[in-house]
Amino acid sequence: MVFKQFSVYLKDLHAIYLLDTKYKFDFKPLKNPQLIVIHGTGDIPVTVNDYYTKSVEELGQPKTHFIINSKGTIYQTLPINMIGNHIQRRNEYSFGISLHNIITSKSATQAMKYSLIKLIDILKEEFSITEIKTHKELMVEDVLELMIELGLYPVGEDIHHSVDKYKNKEELDKIDVQKLLILNGKQLEEYKQYLIEYINDELDQSLYSSMLIDRIKKVSDCPGKYYSKLKINPLI
């Protein structure tokens, strides 16, 4: 590891550009960013540098453009005009921001959220971006889209309702893609399995059914719930 760190400014927002000079990257240009995707680096604590190295070893480049730690320090790990590797099918038009050492938005600190909101505001303004979502929200949207297409889900169903609905067992047993967003950890894995079994019962095996199962498997807590839950209090 030969890490170099230097200060960069995004308007008046300070960030630390992190670069491991051991690697040579072959980035592709990000031409028209339209989306900001929020990630969590997971619940197994790693240093920002180790997370960077792991991503490079796995993917050949850092995953997201930014990583924000619990103290609110913003690390930039990719040039802003280059494509990241953080979300399937959407890398070509999105920025990725990782929240360090968290898995659900509940564990995000105020300082982390403050920096996140500042950073998002700057990116939104600079690139006229209107869509901001968590990785998990987008993965669940992908599942929903394919389920509707395959006739497994009513069209136009409102997918935004509260966790209270799932307190009783009967509701939990119904097929509802929304649950993927609300559940996490072991419960999420169990519900994914339940959905996969349902699909295997309902559909003949085809390219689409395996695509759908694959999309369900990819739904991870990254970070859970909706981006809108990541608001800080009081609002800034």
What are the residues binding Zn ion (CB under 5 A)? 39, 135, 222
Closest CB 116 distance from Zn ion, rounded Å: 14
Handedness of CA 33, 215, 178, 182 (dihedral sign): negative
Closest CB 148 distance from Zn ion, rounded Å: 24
Q: Closer CB to Zn ion, residue 144 or residue 223?
A: 223
Closest CB 135 distance from Zn ion, rounded Å: 3
Q: Closer CB to Zn ion, residue 86 or residue 153?
A: 86
Closest CB 202 distance from Zn ion, rounded Å: 29
Q: Closer CB to Zn ion, residue 40 or residue 178?
A: 40
Q: Closer CB to Zn ion, residue 135 or residue 179?
A: 135
Instruction: State the DSSP string of the chain.
Output: --EEEEEEEETTEEEEEEEETT----PPB-----EEEEEE--SS---HHHHHHHHHHHHSS-SSSEEE-TT--EEE-S-TTB---SSTTTGGGEEEEEETT-SSGGG--HHHHHHHHHHHHHHHHHHT--EEEEHHHHHHHHHHHHHHHTTSS-TT------GGGGGSHHHHHS--THHHHH--HHHHHHHHHHHHHHHHHHS---HHHHHHHHHHHT---SS-S-GGGG--SS--
Closest CB 174 distance from Zn ion, rounded Å: 27
Q: Closer CB to Zn ion, residue 107 or residue 150?
A: 107
Closest CB 139 distance from Zn ion, rounded Å: 8
Q: Closer CB to Zn ion, residue 199 or residue 215?
A: 215
